[in-house]
Structure 1
Amino acid sequence: MPKLFHLRCSPRAASASSAGADAFLAQFRQTRPSWDIDLQDLWRETLPEFDGAALEAKYTRLGGRSFSDSERDAFAVVERMAMRFALADRVLISSPMWNFGVPYKLKQWFDLIVQPGLTFTFSPAEGYRGLVKDRPTIVILASGSDFVTGMSRGRVDMATPYLRDILRFVGVHSVRFVAIGPTAGAGDQVKAARGTAERRLIELARTF
């Protein structure tokens, strides 16, 4: 069964990014009723810390040595997370922008799965190469600022380039971003921004 992997990164069920994802998925389910939707909610699932045996396992891999039992067990958790993402046919990431960047749990998720020999490799001859197969990916990014029209009032969007580059680093290049903003301020502007983004997401879902 084909699978869409949805990485939900907002702790608020009624947030703009969550609402945008819900609108997208409602249409996607109508368009592709046979597909499985695999939801990973970063605020409902416990992410492991990357320390101790898990961290040592990374350097064991880099050194070409064999895992100890504790390293093998710790790294297996990271491997399962990466494979859950890598085996999906489509990917949807819905996230707010926090302090110009991504929420710390989303950064932690990437820090866990971006591992040598798992999602990327390196050789002196060709440099870094992503190991994740490219697949259509949509990133919904909601912000209190209006980055859709550029009216950011001096604020900087560091989330979009980070997400684009980290996905590209592991091999995912076919990424489209849908910005939702402003999510704060005058009520009519907030409502209009959300409505515009959700209409675009519904259209994208019909061909995604």
Structure 2
Amino acid sequence: MTTLLHIKASPRDDGSHSEKAANHFIATLRDRSPELAVTGIDIWDTDLPNFDGALLAAKYARLAGQPFTDEEARAWSRIEAMVRTLDAADIVLISTPMWNLSIPYRLKHYIDLVAQPGLSFSFSPETGYTPLLRPRPVVAILASAGDFSAGLSWGRPDLATPYLREALKFIGLVDAEIVPVGPTAGKTECVLAAAARAARALDDLSARFTGEGA
């Protein structure tokens, strides 16, 4: 059975362009692989622990090779569970809006929590940083009011795409496919065309992931 983990980063209950595109992608995958099992993490409904106190102390204890206190072990176990959930998925799907040129702070919080030494990356002075998660298909749907297909959008840069690609690569989720949905505001024909482009790109990825692509 193929498992897909959907990390949802839009706080909107309806009308989310990233969520609509994600639902389309999941539906096309299910058409091709009816056995697909989907689990979701809604980062707005998930209890993301603050990275301070015992949790921060546990990270530095891990980096120093020191044993955990009981409180540190309890705090670290929550992070271990989050990384296990991420690493168990055969396909990872992230759907997010662009906020202020980058990603929502809650998605950044989630990424900061799962990027941890000994769990998703390692470090040594001889070899530097090494990702620990196994590669697998990763799709990040990025919805924006702007159109960044030709570069800047009204003078604004897209900082979300390079961040997502490098942050995921750092922990082993290499070669993430970033699928833009934009513009999501403005002339109706432009918005509809952007949604159609994203749907076609997601259809191609669905075919490739299920062995039907070229």
Quickly name the TM-score band, shorter chain normalised: over 0.9
Secondary structure at the counterpart of residue 129 of structure 1: strand
* Equivalent residues of 1:148, 1:180 under 8 A apart: no
Q: Distance in 2 between matches of 1:178 and 1:149?
A: 14
Residue 196 of structure 1 and its aligned partner are, at CA, apart by: 1.9
1:50-98 alpha-carbon deviations (Å, 9 max, x no partner): 1111111001111111111111111111111111111211111111110
- TM-score of the pair, normalised by structure 1: 0.96
5+ unaligned residues in a row in structure 2: which ranges? 210-214
User: 1:113 matched to which residue of 2?
Assistant: 114
Q: Distance in 2 between matches of 1:207 and 1:171?
A: 20
User: 1:8 matched to which residue of 2?
Assistant: 8
Aligned residues with identical type, % of pairs: 47
User: 1:189 matched to which residue of 2?
Assistant: 190
Q: Distance in 2 between matches of 1:41 and 1:81?
A: 13
Q: In terms of mean alpha carbon deviation, does 183-192 or 131-140 score higher?
A: 183-192
Q: How does 1:79-158 map to 2 (within 5 A)?
A: 79-150=80-151, 152-158=153-159
User: 1:33 matched to which residue of 2?
Assistant: 34
Q: CA RMSD in A?
A: 1.2
Structure 1 stretches of 4+ with a deviation exceeding 6 A read: none
Residue 15 of structure 1 and its aligned partner are, at CA, apart by: 0.9
Secondary structure at the counterpart of residue 177 of structure 2: strand
Q: Distance in 2 between matches of 1:150 and 1:61?
A: 41
Residue 149 of structure 1 and its aligned partner are, at CA, apart by: 3.4
* Equivalent residues of 1:89, 1:135 under 8 A apart: yes
Residue 199 of structure 1 and its aligned partner are, at CA, apart by: 2.6
User: 2:174 matched to which residue of 1?
Assistant: 173
* Equivalent residues of 1:24, 1:201 under 8 A apart: yes
User: 1:17 matched to which residue of 2?
Assistant: 18
Aligned length: 208
What is the letter of the counterpart of residue 47 of structure 1? L
Q: In terms of mean alpha carbon deviation, does 145-154 or 169-178 score higher?
A: 145-154
Q: Distance in 2 between matches of 1:164 and 1:200?
A: 17
1:6-62 alpha-carbon deviations (Å, 9 max, x no partner): 111111132111000011011111111112111111112221111111111001111
What is the letter of the counterpart of residue 57 of structure 1? A
Q: Distance in 2 between matches of 1:203 and 1:129?
A: 31
2:55 equivalent to 1:51: no
What is the letter of the counterpart of residue 87 of structure 2? A
Q: In terms of mean alpha carbon deviation, does 145-154 or 75-84 score higher?
A: 145-154
Secondary structure at the counterpart of residue 83 of structure 2: helix
Secondary structure at the counterpart of residue 206 of structure 1: helix
1:88-133 alpha-carbon deviations (Å, 9 max, x no partner): 1111111111000110000000111111111100111111000011
Residue 151 of structure 1 and its aligned partner are, at CA, apart by: 5.5
- TM-score of the pair, normalised by structure 2: 0.93
Q: Distance in 2 between matches of 1:151 and 1:130?
A: 31
Residue 2 of structure 1 and its aligned partner are, at CA, apart by: 2.6
